[in-house]
Amino acid sequence: MENLYDLSLGDVRKVFEELGEPGYRADQLWQGLYQKGWTRADQFSTLPRSLRDRLGQKYVIGCLRQERVLISSDGLTRKYLYRLPDGSAIETVLMEYSQRQTACISSQVGCAMGCSFCATGNMGLSRNLSRGEIVEQVLKSALTIKEGGKELTNVVLMGMGEPFHNYEEVLSAIRTLNDPGGFGMGMRRFTISTVGLVPGIRRFAAERTQINLAISLHAADDELRSSIVPINKKYPLSALMDACDHYLGETNRRITIEWALIEGLNDTPDQARKLALLLEGKLFHVNLIQLNPVEHYQGRPAGDRSAAEFQNILLEAGIPCTIRLRRGIDILAGCGQLASQPQR
């Protein structure tokens, strides 16, 4: 059976046209899915029962089965394991802050990028997620937040997978969630994080959307970056920075640089100075995060002193830089810790 979340509004209208139903029925279904959050055919009271029965014979509403939820010791971060119909699984993280509530969404089962410190990359890639599987993670997160009397404010595609390796489905999912007649989440509330797929960045620049772009850099010279982020061998820093320059020229939107600080490796003053030269005079913001531990990687997180020194070098060079608060480490919900395995 086909998943209704995999359909665009145009697809839904075509379905109703083929069923001989008036066009407004498609809007009623769309509103039920994305405004009211209905997940069962019998909830669609705006549709005739005979139509609900016909739709129920061909379509399902969602396919993610929640298998486990872990809550961090501070109660502010939750990690969900969802089982997919083919038996594979993904993880989604929900983080609550004083002014915002953020869902960290997966775009693939596993990841092909193989970044050395990342648990997801250590899995390898099983498959891409569909538009509907991406959309449903957001809807489930929004429902959870709503039950607590709040609203989901931000969605970051920083979970399992490389979003630009699944470009079509990721952008289709965001467009579905952005639709003002449905879920209506503004484009500026979405952030796509890429490890640096140059063709994806250039293609994304042509979209000229207000979706935020983040790049996982982690090193400021090719030798070191290739040892941490293998895709750098295909798209070295010169090509990556050219793509960033193109994006900035097309959109005039700031790019966030993500940098996992690893003790004695990329947390040095030398790397900070090289990064400052790389970003000098351009519209970038650097987010530093001390490495989150994973089983397969022996590197250690940078200490507070070296993190502060790294940040100060960038700030003195005129480059905005923040040190991110690490969240959900005790439940392996931090950046680089997601993997569709039983709790390790």
Residue 168 annotated to the active site: no
Query: How far apart (Å, rounded) are the C-alpha atoms in residues 173 and 199?
Result: 20
Query: How far apart (Å, rounded) are the C-alpha atoms in residues 207 and 212?
Result: 12
Question: In 3D, which of 228, 218, 215, 225 has the Cα closest to residue 116?
Answer: 228
Query: How far apart (Å, rounded) are the C-alpha atoms in residues 178 and 184?
Result: 5
Give yes or no for a contact between 278 and 237, defined as CB atoms under 8 angstroms apart.
yes
DSSP characters over 249-270: HHH---EEEEEEEBTTTT-SHH
Question: In 3D, which of 333, 329, 271, 338 has the Cα closest to residue 301?
Answer: 329
Cα dihedral sign, 170-171-177-181: negative
**Residues in a beta bridge with 128:** 108
Query: How far apart (Å, rounded) are the C-alpha atoms in residues 91 and 118?
Result: 14
What is the separation of C-alpha 12 from the centre of its chain, rounded to a whole number of angstroms? 26
Active-site residue, selected from the candidate residues 21, 91, 169, 258: 91
Cα dihedral sign, 76-285-290-159: positive
Which long-range contacts link 328-332 to residues 24+ away (Cβ below 8 Å)?
328/72, 328/77, 328/79, 328/93, 328/95, 329/72, 329/292, 329/293, 330/72, 330/73, 331/70, 331/71, 331/72, 331/77, 331/79, 332/70, 332/79, 332/119, 332/294
**Token pair of 269 as six digits:** 């003053």
Active-site residue, selected from the candidate residues 63, 115, 321, 335: 335
Residue 223 annotated to the active site: no
Q: What are the phi and psi torsion angles at 52 (to 5°)?
A: -60, -40
Pairing mode, strands 125-128 and 59-60: unpaired
Q: Which residues are catalytic?
A: 91, 335
